[in-house]
Amino acid sequence: MKTQMLRGKRGLSTVVTSLIILVVSVLLATVVTFYAVNVATTRVQEESLLVTKQHIWYNSTGDYSVAAFVIINTGGRDAIIDKISVRGQECSWANVYYWKTISTPVQADLNVTMVPVPQMDGRWGEIFKYLGNNENFQQASND
């Protein structure tokens, strides 16, 4: 009697069972792939620089010009500035001065200077009011 009850019921065919297993495995592989791509792309740090307050001042009575700008590193990696060009002309590193800060934002506009930059020793704070105590511009070195 028991064997007669089992023979009367129908089950899924092997084709349908194989198809269900295949679909489930493809969906699972897709979810795992999307998760891996999401994790990999969110962990990648990229370089991003924001250049603001660009100025170039030309001294008509002297023989020098001064350019000033603010660079903010908005990316997650350290940035290396390899070259500074103005209208296609590369600036010599001997004429480049920089000030690096982490805590002091430059909110005011940049000031023009009437003194050539190499002659400004100790007068940085007078000209550039946003400099803190004992802060000065550093001369850049060769790349």
Cα distances (angstroms) measured from residue 108 to each of 2, 29, 67, 137: 92, 54, 16, 17
Its domain, for residue 112, covers 49-139
Q: How far is CA 87 from the centre of its chain?
A: 25
- pLDDT confidence bin for 131, thresholds 50/70/90: low
User: Do 56 and 15 share a domain, yes or no?
Assistant: no
Q: How far apart are the C-alpha atoms of 61 and 75, rounded to whole Å?
A: 41
Q: What is the pLDDT of residues 25-50, one digit of tens each?
A: 999 999 999 998 888 777 666 778 88
User: Any idea which residue has 């297993």 for tokens?
Assistant: 21
- pLDDT confidence bin for 21, thresholds 50/70/90: very high
User: Do 94 and 124 share a domain, yes or no?
Assistant: yes
User: Do 103 and 67 share a domain, yes or no?
Assistant: yes
Residue 119 φ then ψ, to 5°: -95, 10
